[in-house]
Amino acid sequence: MSTTTSAVRTARVGIIGTGFAGLGLAIRLRQAGDEDFIVLEKDTQLGGTWRDNEYPGCACDVPSNLYSYSFAPNPDWTTTFAHQAEIRAYTERVAADHDLHRSIHFDTFVQDAAWDAEAALWRVETSQGTYEFSVLVSATGPLSSPSIPNLPGLKDFDGPVFHSAEWDFSADLTGKRVAVIGTGASAIQFVPQLQKTVGELKLFQRTPPWLLPRAEFKTSRLRRALFARFPLAQRVARESLYWKNEFTVVGLTRRPGIMKAPQWLAKQHIKRQIPGDPELQAKVTPDFRLGCKRILLSSNYYPALAKPNVEVLTTGVSEIGKNSVVGSDGQVREVDAIVLGTGFHVNDLPIKDHVRGIGGQTLGEAWGDSMQGYRGATVPGFPNFFFILGPNTGLGHSSMIFMAEAAGQYVMDALAQMDKGNLASVDVRPERFARWNDGVQKRMKPTVWVTGGCASWYLDASGKNRTLWPDFTFRFRALTKRFDIESYSTLPRRVPQPSIHAAPAAPAEPAAPVA
């Protein structure tokens, strides 16, 4: 069981983060009867991405019936695409249902995590003191650290400046001149909301994204009652959504030519929503194949851009003045506030500089300019350290909760096998690690992310896609169902310990994968 002393708090498993990934693993542990874990959360409340992102219009672009834990379906989604407040309420409810708050240490920021080879444990320094864990799991997620552009003068701007993930609700933008930098997934959602209240909106667009219509509608009381009374009905609806989305993988990873059909639909979407304005149509039409960058869903973004108080600028930004934004064309545009829709640190996860493995080497030093993970979970030289949603586990078509649950099963089976073999540590073999990542990159070559003609945040500094999973999600689940201990170097415990992790039964296999 976890213990606390005046100096050090200990548990067998330490989990960093309380987003869907961290909460999901904590629930699996509790379901298996294991209480020997602590969840470290930097904030005073749980929630991860859906706690931090509260910008106007914030919502999920995965259908609601896919965006929940497989073991905790939610029949009460009020729309077909859930909004931020409803998703956050769902995570809080699930955490309460499983009594997780007593295992979460809030306001605890991880400053440093170092592997102690002699003691075979991770020593974690936090803002609230020292912790020691036999196994450390990073569940911080790829959308947890906002990316702030290094623009000359940005820090000296006189008005409000904030990132969409750190929305400043104290800033009254009503009637103001506002510059929006970036046109990613968040901007697509908050721009239509800003347009309604600001005086002028200057949208600095480096690269336009492809958009498809967002088929969002309110769910009826009858539908919600049906799903609550007959869970099988919701299961069938969920399965149909899953397989419909999974078909997209063929076009994304194997036959990019298939994407020509949805790309034609996307072009028609532009024409229908911006009629009679060929200049604006041209500005928002990408020059790369649909799917190369993240495919976005919106039915109100293009109409917002067509409003008289919005100007779409394709020049880029060169610098920021005291009360202006200077485009790469040299033109100065005076503004009162700046909102950044510039994405997140995805290929350079901040945790890489705070985790030190064998010999004190950081993850960042081990990776160089290209992060990699074995089955998205482990890295050589970092024993007993696991990622949930690590390298090459991202998706461009379906629910990340599916991937988080699959990765969580891998960790659970690792714990079970360590108990079974009375092992102190497991460390993935470098040759298995290299073979896995070579295979992933080989699968990546024919994908639309490589052949689609764009430079996206999916790619790292070396031009490799270390972000996305280049295959079907059910294949990833099959590959992570069992912890392949033969791929790891192991060390026995010095003193045999009673097993506290009876091998957990994997969730009952459904007739078809659930997301």
- Distance from C-alpha of 165 to C-alpha of 294, rounded to nearest angstrom: 18
Is 275's pLDDT higher than 50?
yes
Q: To the nearest whole percent, how much of the chain has pLDDT over 90?
A: 87
- Distance from C-alpha of 73 to C-alpha of 227, rounded to nearest angstrom: 9
Residue 143 pLDDT: 72
DSSP per-residue letters across 42-77: SSSS--THHHH---TT-B-SS-GGGSS-TTS--TT-
Residue 105 pLDDT: 98
Q: What is the pLDDT of residues 372-405, one digit of tens each?
A: 999 999 999 999 999 999 999 999 899 999 999 9
Mean pLDDT of the chain: 92
Residue 6 pLDDT: 54
- The more confidently predicted of residues 503 and 10 is 10
- CATH 3.30.428.10 corresponds to the domain 3-145+345-492: no
Q: What is the pLDDT of residues 24-68, one digit of tens each?
A: 999 999 999 999 999 999 999 999 999 999 999 999 999 999 999
Is 498's pLDDT higher than 80?
no
Q: What is the mean pLDDT of residues 292-303?
A: 96
Is 509's pLDDT higher than 60?
no
Residue 1 pLDDT: 47
Is 514's pLDDT higher than 80?
no
Is 496's pLDDT higher than 70?
no
Q: What are the structure tokens assigned to 445, written together?
A: 């070559």
CATH homologous superfamily for the domain 154-215+250-340: FAD/NAD(P)-binding domain (3.50.50.60)
507 pLDDT tier (thresholds 50, 70, 90): very low
Q: Hey, which bits of 389-483 come out as E strands? A: 423-428
Is 225's pLDDT higher than 50?
yes
Residue 346 pLDDT: 74
- Distance from C-alpha of 29 to C-alpha of 348, rounded to nearest angstrom: 29
Is 412's pLDDT higher than 60?
yes
Q: To the nearest whole percent, how much of the chain has pLDDT over 70?
A: 95
257 C-beta neighbours (distance < 10 Å), count: 11
Residue 499 pLDDT: 42
Residue 468 pLDDT: 96
320 pLDDT tier (thresholds 50, 70, 90): very high
Cα 27 to its chain centre, rounded Å, is: 19
Residue 467 pLDDT: 94
Q: What is the mean pLDDT of residues 242-271?
A: 95
466 pLDDT tier (thresholds 50, 70, 90): very high
272 C-beta neighbours (distance < 10 Å), count: 12
Query: Cα–Cα distances in Å, from 165 out to 282, 457, 463?
Result: 29, 17, 26
Q: What are the structure tokens assigned to 80, written together?
A: 């077909």
Residue 379 pLDDT: 98
503 pLDDT tier (thresholds 50, 70, 90): very low
Q: What is the pLDDT of residues 128-186, one digit of tens each?
A: 999 999 999 999 977 777 888 999 999 999 999 999 999 999 999 999 999 999 999 99
232 pLDDT tier (thresholds 50, 70, 90): very high
Residues of the chain with CATH 3.50.50.60: 3-145+345-492, 154-215+250-340
501 pLDDT tier (thresholds 50, 70, 90): very low
Among 182-186, 212-216, 419-423, 452-456, name the one with the lowest average pLDDT: 452-456
